[in-house]
Structure 1
Amino acid sequence: MKLSKFLLFLFFVLSASVAVAQSSAELKRKKEALQREIDLLQKNANKAANSKKLTLGEIKALNAKIGLMQSKISVINSEIKNLDNQIHENTNTVHNLKGQLGQLKKEYASMIRFAQRNKNAYDKMMFIFAASDFNQAYKRIKYLQQFGQYRKKQADYIQGKQKDLNYKIVVLDKNLKEKSHLLQEQEQEKNKLGKNKSEQSAVLNKYSKQEKQLKNDIVAKRKQSAQLDRSIRSAIAREIEIAKRKAEEEERLAAAKAKAENKPAPATTSKPKTSGGYLTATPESAKLSSQFEGNRGSLPWPVTMATVTQKFGRYMVDQASGMSDGIDIETQEDAGVRAVFNGKVSKVGESYGKYYVLIMHGGYFTVYSNLKSASVSSGETVTTRQNIGVVGTDDGRPQLKFQIWRGSTPQNPEAWLGAK
Structure 2
Amino acid sequence: MKLKELFLSLMFMVLCSTAFAQSMEQLKRNKEALDRQIALAQKNLNKTVSGKKLTLGQISAIKAQVRLMQQKISTINSEMKNLDNQITENTGKVHNLQTRLSELKKEYAGMIRFAQRNRNSYDKMMFIFASKDFNQAYKRIKYLQQFGQYRKKQAAYIQGTEKDLSDRIVILDKDLKNKSSLLKERVGEKSKLDKKKNEQAVVLNRLSKQERQISQDIQRKRKEQDAINKKIRTEIQRIIALERKKEEERAKEEQRLAAAKAKAENRPVPVAPVAKPKTNSELLRATPEAAKLSNAFESNRGSLPAPVANGYITAHFGSYMVDQASAKNDGVTYQTSENAAVRAVFNGEVRSVSTVLGKYFILIRHGEYFTLYQNLKTASVSEGQNVTTKQTIGTAALNEGVAEVSFQVIKGAIAQNPESWLAK
Q: Do both proteins adopt the same fold according to a TM-score greater than 0.5, normalized to the shorter chain? A: yes
Deviation at 1:165, TM superposition (A): 1.0
1:383 to 383, 388, 411: 388
Task: Give 3-state SS (helix, strand or coil) of 1:388's partner.
Answer: strand
- The reply to whether residue 264 of structure 1 matches residue 270 of structure 2 is yes
Question: How many Å separate the matches in 2 of 1:175 and 1:136?
Answer: 56
Task: Give 3-state SS (helix, strand or coil) of 1:151's partner.
Answer: helix
Alpha carbons of structure 1 residues 257 and 116: separation in structure 2 relative to 1, 3 Å: closer
1:283 to 282, 288, 304: 288
2:400 to 395, 403, 407: 395
1:292 corresponds to:
297
Question: How many Å separate the matches in 2 of 1:267 and 1:221?
Answer: 50
Question: How many Å separate the matches in 2 of 1:122 and 1:309?
Answer: 88
Deviation at 1:398, TM superposition (A): 0.7
Alpha carbons of structure 1 residues 132 and 53: separation in structure 2 relative to 1, 3 Å: same
Question: How many Å separate the matches in 2 of 1:144 and 1:256?
Answer: 96
Q: TM-score, normalised by structure 2?
A: 0.90
Alpha carbons of structure 1 residues 143 and 336: separation in structure 2 relative to 1, 3 Å: closer
Question: How many Å separate the matches in 2 of 1:192 and 1:219?
Answer: 34
What's the CA shift string for 1:342-378, capped at 9, x where partnerless? 3222222211221111122222211111111212222
Mapping of 1:110-149 within 5 angstroms?
110-132=110-132, 135-149=135-149
- The reply to whether residue 415 of structure 1 matches residue 420 of structure 2 is yes
Question: How many Å separate the matches in 2 of 1:249 and 1:103?
Answer: 85
1:371 corresponds to:
376
2:92 corresponds to:
92
User: Given that residues 294 and 368 in structure 2 are in contact (C-alpha distance below 8 angstroms), is that contact kept between their aligned partners in structure 1?
Assistant: yes
Mapping of 1:191-270 within 5 angstroms?
191-252=191-252, 254-255=254-255, 263-267=269-273
Task: Give 3-state SS (helix, strand or coil) of 1:398's partner.
Answer: strand
Alpha carbons of structure 1 residues 126 and 310: separation in structure 2 relative to 1, 3 Å: same
1:52 corresponds to:
52
Task: Give 3-state SS (helix, strand or coil) of 1:392's partner.
Answer: strand
Matched length: 418
Question: How many Å separate the matches in 2 of 1:280 and 1:94?
Answer: 61
Mapping of 1:343-362 within 5 angstroms?
343-362=348-367
Segments of 5+ residues of structure 1 without an aligned counterpart are none
User: Given that residues 38 and 65 in structure 1 are in contact (C-alpha distance below 8 angstroms), is that contact kept between their aligned partners in structure 2?
Assistant: yes
Alpha carbons of structure 1 residues 257 and 73: separation in structure 2 relative to 1, 3 Å: same
Deviation at 1:69, TM superposition (A): 1.4
2:151 corresponds to:
151
1:67 corresponds to:
67
Question: How many Å separate the matches in 2 of 1:326 and 1:401?
Answer: 7
Task: Give 3-state SS (helix, strand or coil) of 1:273's partner.
Answer: coil
1:24 corresponds to:
24
Question: How many Å separate the matches in 2 of 1:358 and 1:285?
Answer: 16
Question: How many Å separate the matches in 1 of 2:359 and 2:257?
Answer: 48
Task: Give 3-state SS (helix, strand or coil) of 1:183's partner.
Answer: helix
What's the CA shift string for 1:314-344, capped at 9, x where partnerless? 2122234332111101112101212222322
Alpha carbons of structure 1 residues 128 and 238: separation in structure 2 relative to 1, 3 Å: closer
2:345 corresponds to:
340
What's the CA shift string for 1:182-214, capped at 9, x where partnerless? 111111111111111111111111212322322
Question: How many Å separate the matches in 2 of 1:112 and 1:280?
Answer: 80
Task: Give 3-state SS (helix, strand or coil) of 2:119's partner.
Answer: coil
Segments of 5+ residues of structure 2 without an aligned counterpart are none
Deviation at 1:111, TM superposition (A): 2.5
> Hey, which bits of structure 1, 4+ residues long, moved more than 6 A?
none
User: Given that residues 251 and 268 in structure 1 are in contact (C-alpha distance below 8 angstroms), is that contact kept between their aligned partners in structure 2?
Assistant: no
Task: Give 3-state SS (helix, strand or coil) of 2:384's partner.
Answer: coil
Question: How many Å separate the matches in 2 of 1:73 and 1:406?
Answer: 36
Q: TM-score, normalised by structure 1?
A: 0.91
Task: Give 3-state SS (helix, strand or coil) of 2:238's partner.
Answer: helix
Question: How many Å separate the matches in 2 of 1:283 and 1:136?
Answer: 79
After TM superposition, the structure 1 stretch with the greater mean CA deviation from structure 2, 107-116 or 356-365, is 107-116
Question: How many Å separate the matches in 2 of 1:364 and 1:357?
Answer: 14
1:326 corresponds to:
331
Deviation at 1:49, TM superposition (A): 3.2
Deviation at 1:172, TM superposition (A): 1.0
